[in-house]
Amino acid sequence: MRKIAVLGSTGSIGTQALSVIREHGDLQVEALTCRGNLSLLEEQIREFRPKTVCVGDEKAAMELKGRIGDLSGMKICFGREGLIEAAAETDADLVLTAIVGMVGVEPTIHAIEAGKDIALANKETLVTAGHIIMPLAKEKGVKILPVDSEHSAIFQCLQGNEGNRIKKILLTASGGPFFGKTRKELERVTLEDALKHPNWSMGKKITVDSSTMVNKGLEVLEATHLFGVTLREIQVVIQPKSIIHSMVEYEDGAVMAQLGTPDMRLPIQYALYYPARLSLSGDRLDFRVLKEITFDEPDEETFPGLSFAREAGEKGGNMPTIFNAANEYAVGRFLEGRISFLQIYEMIRSAMDNVPFKNEAALNDILETEQETYEYLRNAKVS
């Protein structure tokens, strides 16, 4: 039986992955991790019986021990070291990285070093450390299987086309809940408005990222690493209903697309069972009902998330980390109700302009830059 570790099992991707695993019943769950949602983790432990679990800190580990004292033989760990252990030191063949944020970088690197295939949802990891992760995966002969719906779509469009050069990636975007709004209107949008994504139900951080278009920026950078294309070879296309999940144009002008109803279980399942296509319950596209698919261009002036990302990617070095860490920090403050929507952009801009740039971006530089960015934004007066 194939074995899997699920990092971030209590989140949006994590719970959907466990529902896929439950449905097919032929994957052994070796490890589960979360930060603090112990009641859901406890249920998952009782159902899937992992050998290792990891939680955010020691206090949570003690509490979990109290809750599941009757399950002997299961290892409970916590924090950074614990996450690395859950990712790299179990018998899993495949690790699903469904934690949110740069905290995923180190466990992912350790899992690859241990020879495990990666089903990658955690985009912040590739954005900041893709230049380390992709060559390492190649060297170790491990697969990086994309879970992000757009990247899964691109990956599906590449099947059978090995050896054919990608002319262009057409990365689709819904545009988020604020597409069409002016900057003036954005001054008044609230957290509640930002959390209402038109098509997808996701974790809070990525939902806010979708409303700023930073998510699409992160995805553009993620795609450069996954598919070895340049920034210029990626075009973002607004497709408000999220029916086309992305497309690849080849040298002969052929455009391959992957379509489907917006359901993350499909890309999750494809990554877990690649290259097999197993059955999946749920709605199907009905073109008699759909009638039309419309397209638009992104408004990069009003929503600069995408242009910040491109700028960070062009500059290289530690700039994608500054961009990503500043966004993680700003979105955290926005979710706490401490800054306005437009201040997310101000914080990112200010960090990209002021945190020291380094050409070098080895792992320690990335982690140092993350801390420097947080430190800078904690002290900066961004209004």
Residues in touch with ligand NDP (CB under 6 A): 8-14, 34-37, 56, 98-100, 103, 121-124, 148, 200, 202-203, 205-206, 264
Task: State how far the Cα of 349 lies from the Cα of 154, in Å rounded to an integer.
Answer: 30
Could you tell me the smallest distance in angstroms from the CB atom of residue 9 to ligand NDP? 6
**CB 211 to ligand NDP: min, Å:** 13
Question: With respect to Mg ion, which residue has the nearer C-beta, 199 or 302?
Answer: 199
3-state secondary structure of 250: strand
* Min separation Cβ 153 and ligand NDP, Å: 12
- Which of ligand NDP, Mg ion, none does 245 bind, CB closer than 5 to 8 A by kind? none
Choose among Mg ion, ligand NDP, none what residue 103 binds, the Cβ cut-off being 5 to 8 Å by kind: ligand NDP
Which is it for the CA torsion 167, 263, 145, 373, positive or negative?
positive
Q: Closer to ligand NDP at the Cβ: 241 or 358? A: 241
Nearer to ligand NDP, 33 or 350 (CB): 33
Least CB distance to Mg ion at residue 200 (A): 8
Pick the closer one to ligand NDP by CB: 200 or 357: 200
CB of 242 to ligand NDP, least distance (A): 11
- As measured in angstroms, the least distance from the Cβ of 353 to ligand NDP is 25
**Least distance from C-beta 217 to Mg ion, angstroms?**
12
Neighbours of 244 (CB within 10 A): 18
Residue 36 binds which one of Mg ion, ligand NDP, none, with CB within 5 to 8 A depending on kind? Answer: ligand NDP
Backbone region of residue 141 per phi and psi (left: phi > 0; alpha: psi in -120 to 50; beta: other values): left
- What is the smallest separation between the CB atom of 138 and ligand NDP, expressed in angstroms? 23
List Cβ neighbours of 177 (8 Å cut-off, separation of 6 or more).
193, 194, 196, 197, 198, 210, 211
Residue closer to ligand NDP, measured from CB, 12 or 369:
12
Q: Which residue is nearest to Mg ion (CB)?
A: 148
Residue number with CB closer to Mg ion (218 or 326): 218
Q: Residue 123 binds what, of Mg ion, ligand NDP, none (CB under 5 to 8 Å, by partner type)?
A: ligand NDP
> 362: Cβ–Cβ under 8 A, 6 or more apart, which residues?
132
* Paired tokens of 26: 């032929």
What are the structure tokens assigned to 181, written together? 């709004």
β-bridge pairing 244-250 and 166-173: antiparallel
How far from chain centre, in Å, is Cα 81? Answer: 21
Residue 181 binding: pick among ligand NDP, Mg ion, none (C-beta 5-8 Å cut-off by kind): none
- Shortest approach of ligand NDP to residue 47 CB, angstroms? 16
Angstrom distance (rounded) from CA 326 to CA 336: 15
Q: Which of the listed partners (Mg ion, ligand NDP, none) does 244 bind, with a CB threshold of 5 to 8 Å by partner kind?
A: none
Query: Closest residue to ligand NDP, Cβ-based?
Result: 11
CA distance 205 to 224: 22
For residue 52, the SS3 value is strand
Nearer of residues 56 and 175 to ligand NDP, judged by Cβ: 56
Single-letter code of the amino acid located at 379 = N
Which of 106, 124, 148, 372: binder of Mg ion (CB under 5 A)? Answer: 148
Q: Residue type at 269?
A: Q
28 vs 5, 9, 91, 93, CA distance in Å? 9, 14, 10, 10
Residue 134 CB: number of other CB atoms within 10 A? 18
Determine the interface stretch with Mg ion among 92-100, 145-153, 324-332, 368-376 (rule: CB under 5 A): 145-153
Query: CB under 5 to 8 A by kind: which of ligand NDP, Mg ion, none does 202 bind?
Result: ligand NDP
Task: Collect contacts of 199-207 with beta carbons under 8 A, ≥24 apart.
Answer: 199/174, 199/241, 199/242, 199/262, 200/174, 200/242, 200/262, 200/264, 201/12, 202/12, 202/264, 203/11, 203/12, 203/13, 203/100, 204/335, 205/100, 205/101, 205/328, 205/331, 205/335, 206/12, 206/100
124 touches Mg ion (CB under 5 A):
no
Q: Which is nearer to ligand NDP, 217 or 382 (CB)?
A: 217
In the complex, the residues that contact Mg ion under the rule CB under 5 A are 148-150
